[in-house]
Every structure is written in structure tokens, then in C-alpha cells.
Amino acid sequence: MGLDVKTVHLLRILPTIFIGEVNGLATAAGNEILVQCDMRFAGPWAHFGALEVANGILHGNGGAQYLTHLIGPGRALEYLLSVNDVDAKTAEQYGWVNRAYCSAAELRREVDALAERIALWLAGGLNATKVSVRENDLAQAGLDRDLQRFKYLLSREEAQ
């Protein structure tokens, strides 16, 4: 794993909740970072895409895999192979971003309010929830790990 891949991979494994806020271009490496954030929000001037194929390469830092997870293989291939951008509203419809806002002020206000609300909660619950959602494991082993996390967090003094 190269240094770039390891750095971007930290977005997934660090206990910090990463919220992407875009109101401009998020293409190439910018898109690769964005799709690995825990949540993504867009303003009216946001555009998303990947230009790597036009240069004979691919979206290499996990961008293709994470984009596929967000919007499905057919749509991911449509944008990755055509090197076309997608606007904020379309990105919202496809699941590329959580929500698209009509103004930059609304984007900033809503994302700040979300971050402030999340900051109210205990880190243990936030971190365990991020790990559980990222695992996305419906097999019994995944459900058992969630139950173990729940029991551990419930036993902590701060949760009592």
C-alpha cells in the first residue's frame, strides 16, 4: 500500500467522523477523498467526477471502489469511463452525496449544525457506530461484534 492510499485509508479507520463539504470541483483525487468521508454534502456549485481514464489510468486511491459502493456499478462505470462530471442535485439523487443545498450559506449552516450535534455525543458511541456502519456485515459474526461493542459501551461509567 503506497503512502497516498494509506493516507486516504485513514478516513475509514480513524475514529474521527469525517464530513465532506463541497461547493466547487471534487474531481480526481478530490473525489477519491470525498467518497471515503463518512458523509458528504454539496453546495450549488459542486461538481463531481473522475478524469483518470482520459489520461490512461484509473481512480487509484480506492475512489472507484468507494464510488461503486455509493452509487452502484452501472453508474460508477458511466461516470468513471465517460469522464463526465455530475452536478450536486444529480449527485444527491444517486447517493454520491448525502444532500445538496441550494445556497452556499445553507450548506455551511446545515453542515455546521450537524457537526455540532454529533459533537454532543460520547466518543465511544460515535466511534463504535462508525466501525459498525463501515463493516456493513449482516453475517452473524458482524452482528455479534456489534453486540460486543454495545455491551462494552454500556458497561462504561460514562454511559451509565
Residues classed as catalytic: 32, 52
Q: Where are the beta strands (DSSP E) in 83-158?
A: 86-87, 99-100
Beta strand 86-87 with 47-49: parallel, antiparallel or unpaired?
A: antiparallel
Backbone torsion region of residue 153, taken as left when φ is above 0, otherwise alpha when ψ lies between -120 and 50, otherwise beta: alpha
Residue 79 CB burial class (10 angstroms; 0-12, 13-18, ≥19): buried
* All cell numbers assigned to 24: 466547487
Q: Where are the beta strands (DSSP E) in 12-132?
A: 19-22, 25-27, 39-42, 47-49, 86-87, 99-100
